[in-house]
Amino acid sequence: MSTDERFRSLFDPAGVIVAGVSNHPAKFGFVTLHNILASGYEGRVFATNRDGGTVLGIDALTSVRDVPHGAADLVFVCTPASANPDLLRDCAAIGVRAAFLTSAGYGEAGEEGKRMEDELVALADELGILLCGPNGQGVVSTPSKLCAQIVAPYPPEGRIGIASQSGNFVSSFQNFAVQSGVGVSRAVSAGNAAATGVPDYLEFYADDPATAVGLAYVEGIRDGRAFFDRVRSIAERKPLVLLKGGSSAYGQRAAASHTGALAADDTVFTGMCRQAGVTRAATVEEAFEAAATFATQPLPRGNRVVVMTTAGGWGVVTADALANTSLELVALPDDLRAEIDQRLPPRWSRNNPVDLAAGETRDTIPELLDVITAHPDVDAVIYLGLGIQSNQARLMRQGRFYPDEGLERIVAYHERQDARFAEAAAAASATYDKPVLTATELAVAIPDNPGPVAVRASGKLCYASSNRAVTALDHLWRYAQWRRRRGLD
Amino acid sequence: MPTLSEAESKRVLAAAGVPMLDERVVQSATDAGAAADAIGYPVVAKLCGDAIAHKTERGLVRLRLGDRAAVEAAAADLLAAARPDDGEVGVLVAPMVAGNRELIAGLHDDPQFGMTIMLGVGGILAEAIKDVTFRLVPIERVDAEEMIDDLATQALLGPFRGEAAVDRDQLAAVLLGLSSAAQADPSIVSADLNPLIVTAGGTPIAVDALVERAASS
């Protein structure tokens, strides 16, 4: 059986067995079964444990052998390490092709555990079973509504494929997905990565139609050369965002060479990423936002950015942020300036950033987003100022005068307008196939503001600050450039 | 691990395509004078040998020699300064290269990623500034160009204090040559081109080179 088919069994199984279920709601076996059942998985679900009984309405079988042959192709293993070799043999006998082991007591537990882990790898190989973990948190796959993991959350559906050497980062990335609304296709924690490592999952994502971008946390890479070859081949097919831990742990030869002395910290890793076309992020939120941007915005065809803002200070700060990137705050083309002149009173900035200086009327913002994005000398747009009026509307709605004094009408108007503006940004992006990013701190400060709500509804990320939008867009342009320079587009 | 002499280091790297100047190694003051006449003045003269790695510290480098008499006198001094444990030595005569900007490039065997190529801002502050970038051997031309773009101190690479912008093609050729050298000779464990002086005309020139090879078994 091909590796790809076994990954299919991991991510899109026809049926799942949870081995080692428990009636105790704090045990992994219970939590996993709960999460599978609660998240809407539509395949068949089986549970086993030594003593039988009923857990969460499922009659537990005392042996995996009692599962009809071919009814389940994924087993989620919560049993102790000592029980697992026999379990795997039974699973193979009834047609299971992939096993995710959350069981601990393996390589992480010392010499004896390492020996058992090696034996398990050999056994799984012999049985033709894809072995994931052990000591991992689980696997999520939204196309199959599968949440086979020992922790929350179950993220919204989307196109980010997550793989992590640390289970906690799978949770972190998924929590960002819940918060931002930009969802996940697949997510897996590699645990001890005894047989299947982060690059193996990323390799599957690279050819997975449900996934638009890979997002991974790695540390302690075993074979740097092999890793480089893998990630470069992946980046040729799809964007890949890496967050790396332990960036200062490099052994360094006390060399006679100056070059060696300068190879400190993780400069070599950074260079490797640039060479491989991998997007390296410095922080967990930067990593998620880069991936979310790859998943929801087209790649820019150039680096010329227009910043459109309803108020001056934001534009200035955004211009500063752009100065430290590969992006260009493009000088406003004359014909575009003339177009904007027709729609605003003369006090607007008349350059880039396009500061409306509160000169807009009902249709100005949607129209400007369209004409600016349409212009051939503009490759991307950052839009600032969404949600201000709705924030005022919120205060009015909460105040004691509402709905009198005309407040009901104006509140509804503002809320409708901000939703419109967000929709216009998404429409301009779709029409002209260019990135249009919307940034406002209201995305996190007042997440139910109709502006950010409409951004999320449009499937896009609403950036919590313009700096973060700039950083994400910079990552997109660098990747686009990497592709173009190598003739990949 | 054995290091090669400056002359031998340059020969190895030049053979792989790293651009090098016209240089001669001679054994006598008279031959040094003749070499300088052929190269054109001013020149530098250095005592050179496999066992000599720190020439500057020992005063074995003579700069800006403007005529034949100066070259012959310097060469005689240098040959007299050789110590028995320096082994076989010679005088390297090379064109005097001047420029306000210094870069550094080299090869480094990384414990995790294997042989890598480095480009950085050079000079005495190099290790404090740490404006460096690495790639894994082998690199392509596009990688070399991106390495140059990676340096944070781009102002140094443009027109600078009356001197021309760095010749990026020539700098890329240095990096590609290092890559080829590492591929052609797996026994190379490190190389330094330090400094790579950028001339007033913008050409980066390796005025010193040190190649280190794994001990032969």
* pLDDT tens digits for range A141-182: 999 999 999 999 999 999 999 999 988 999 999 999 999 999
Residue that wins the pLDDT comparison between A312 and A423: A423
Structure confidence at residue B2 (pLDDT): 83
Q: Do A263 and B53 touch (CB under 8 A)?
A: no
Residue that wins the pLDDT comparison between A262 and A380: A380
Whether the per-residue pLDDT at A256 is higher than 60: the answer is no
Structure confidence at residue A260 (pLDDT): 60
- Domain termination site, one of B63, B95, B127: B95
Q: Are residues B173 and B107 in the same domain?
A: yes
Residue that wins the pLDDT comparison between B58 and A331: A331
Q: Do B53 and A256 touch (CB under 8 A)?
A: yes
CATH code: domain of residue A69: 3.40.50.720
Whether the per-residue pLDDT at A462 is higher than 80: the answer is yes
CATH code: domain of residue A159: 3.40.50.261
What is the domain extent for residue A256?
155-296
Q: Are residues A270 and A331 in the same domain?
A: no
Q: Do B109 and A250 touch (CB under 8 A)?
A: no
Q: Are residues B145 and B122 in the same domain?
A: yes
Domain count, chain A: 3
Whether the per-residue pLDDT at B135 is higher than 90: the answer is yes
Q: Are residues B30 and B74 in the same domain?
A: yes
- Domain termination site, one of A273, A296, A319: A296
Q: Do B104 and A260 touch (CB under 8 A)?
A: no
Contacts A257 to B, Cβ<8 Å: 106, 108, 190-192, 210, 212
β-strands B209-213, B188-198 pairing:
antiparallel
Residue A255's pLDDT band (cuts 50, 70, 90)? very low
Whether the per-residue pLDDT at A249 is higher than 70: the answer is no
Q: How far is B31 from chain A (nearest CA, A)?
A: 32
Structure confidence at residue B172 (pLDDT): 98
B90 forms beta bridges with: B48
Q: How far is A107 from chain B (nearest CA, A)?
A: 22
Q: How far is B111 from chain A (nearest CA, A)?
A: 7
- Domain termination site, one of B70, B95, B120: B95
- Domain termination site, one of B95, B130, B145: B95
A280 forms beta bridges with: A242
Q: Are residues B52 and B112 in the same domain?
A: no
CATH code: domain of residue B84: 3.30.1490.20
Q: Do A225 and B136 touch (CB under 8 A)?
A: yes
Q: Are residues B111 and B207 in the same domain?
A: yes
Q: Are residues A292 and A309 in the same domain?
A: no
Q: Are residues B123 and B200 in the same domain?
A: yes
Task: Estimate to the nearest angstrom the gap between the alpha carbon of B32 and the chain centroid.
Answer: 20
Q: Would you say residue B207 lies in a domain?
A: yes
Domain count, chain B: 2
Rounded Cα distance between A29 and A48, Å, is: 9
Q: How far is B48 from chain A (nearest CA, A)?
A: 17
Q: In whole numbers, what is the pLDDT of chain A averaged over residues? A: 94
> For residue range A57-101, what is the model confidence (pLDDT) as tens digits?
999 999 999 999 999 999 999 999 999 999 999 999 999 999 999
Structure confidence at residue A258 (pLDDT): 57
CATH code: domain of residue B159: 3.30.470.20
Q: Are residues B88 and B173 in the same domain?
A: no
Rounded Cα distance between B192 and B178, Å, is: 10
Pick A258's closest partner by Cβ from B104, B114, B116: B104
A383 forms beta bridges with: A308, A438
Whether the per-residue pLDDT at A253 is higher than 60: the answer is no
Which of A419, A312, A417 lies closest to A363 in space, CA to CA? Answer: A417
Structure confidence at residue A223 (pLDDT): 87
Contacts A274 to B, Cβ<8 Å: 133, 135, 146, 150
Q: Are residues A305 and A453 in the same domain?
A: yes
Q: Are residues A119 and A3 in the same domain?
A: yes
- Domain termination site, one of A253, A280, A296: A296
**Are the CB atoms for B98 and B201 separated by under 8 Å?**
no
Q: Are residues A292 and A174 in the same domain?
A: yes
Q: Are residues A53 and A106 in the same domain?
A: yes
Considering chain B, what percentage of its residues have pLDDT values greater than 90?
77
B24 forms beta bridges with: B93
CA distances from B32 to A185, A240, B24, B73 (A): 71, 57, 8, 10
Q: Pull the structure tokens for residue B84.
A: 């028995």
Rounded Cα distance between A134 and A123, Å, is: 14
A275 touches chain B (CB under 8 A): yes
Rounded Cα distance between A277 and A288, Å, is: 17
Structure confidence at residue A264 (pLDDT): 53
Which of A336, A367, A363 lies closest to A352 in space, CA to CA? Answer: A336
Structure confidence at residue A254 (pLDDT): 40
Rounded Cα distance between A365 and A423, Å, is: 11
Rounded Cα distance between A170 and A115, Å, is: 27
| Residue spans of beta strands (DSSP E) within A86-229 | 98-101, 130-132, 138-141, 146-149, 157-164, 184-189, 213-218
Q: Are residues A63 and A177 in the same domain?
A: no
Q: How far is A255 from chain B (nearest CA, A)?
A: 9
Rounded Cα distance between B69 and A303, Å, is: 58
Q: Are residues A286 and A303 in the same domain?
A: no
Range scoring the smallest mean pLDDT among A183-187, A374-378, B158-162? B158-162
Q: Give the mean model confidence (pLDDT) for residues B146-163.
A: 93
Q: Would you say residue B49 lies in a domain?
A: yes
Q: Would you say residue B192 lies in a domain?
A: yes
**Are the CB atoms for A37 and A45 separated by under 8 Å?**
yes
- Domain termination site, one of A105, A139, A173: A139
Q: Would you say residue B11 lies in a domain?
A: no
Q: Give the mean model confidence (pLDDT) for residues A191-220.
A: 95
Q: Are residues A249 and A325 in the same domain?
A: no
Q: Would you say residue A424 lies in a domain?
A: yes
Contacts of A190 (CB under 8 A, 6+ apart): A132, A133, A136, A163, A164, A165, A196, A197, A198, A201
Q: Are residues A21 and A73 in the same domain?
A: yes
Strand order in the sheet with B24-26: B24-26, B90-95, B43-48, B61-65
Which of A341, A202, A272, A207 lies closest to B133 in space, CA to CA? Answer: A272
| Residue spans of beta strands (DSSP E) within A206-291 | 213-218, 240-244, 279-281
For A341, what's the count of Cα atoms within 13 Å in the CB-facing half-sphere?
Answer: 9
Q: Are residues B50 and B138 in the same domain?
A: no
Range scoring the smallest mean pLDDT among A29-43, A89-103, A457-471, B74-88? B74-88
Q: Are residues B127 and B204 in the same domain?
A: yes
**Are the CB atoms for B79 and B91 separated by under 8 Å?**
yes
Q: For residue A233, how many other CB atoms are within 10 A of its CB?
A: 15
Contacts A268 to B, Cβ<8 Å: 108, 110, 112-113, 116, 134
Residue A265's pLDDT band (cuts 50, 70, 90)? low
Range scoring the smallest mean pLDDT among A157-161, A301-305, A329-333, B124-128? B124-128
Q: Are residues B123 and B157 in the same domain?
A: yes
Rounded Cα distance between A120 and A106, Å, is: 10
Structure confidence at residue B114 (pLDDT): 93
Q: Are residues B77 and B121 in the same domain?
A: no
Q: Would you say residue A145 lies in a domain?
A: no
Contacts of B25 (CB under 8 A, 6+ apart): B7, B48, B90, B91, B92, B93
Q: Are residues A5 and A122 in the same domain?
A: yes
Which of A487, A440, A407, A411 lies closest to A308 in space, CA to CA? Answer: A440
Q: Are residues A279 and A428 in the same domain?
A: no
A218 touches chain B (CB under 8 A): no
What is the domain extent for residue B91?
22-95
Q: Are residues B57 and B123 in the same domain?
A: no
Rounded Cα distance between A451 and A414, Å, is: 10
Q: Would you say residue B140 lies in a domain?
A: yes
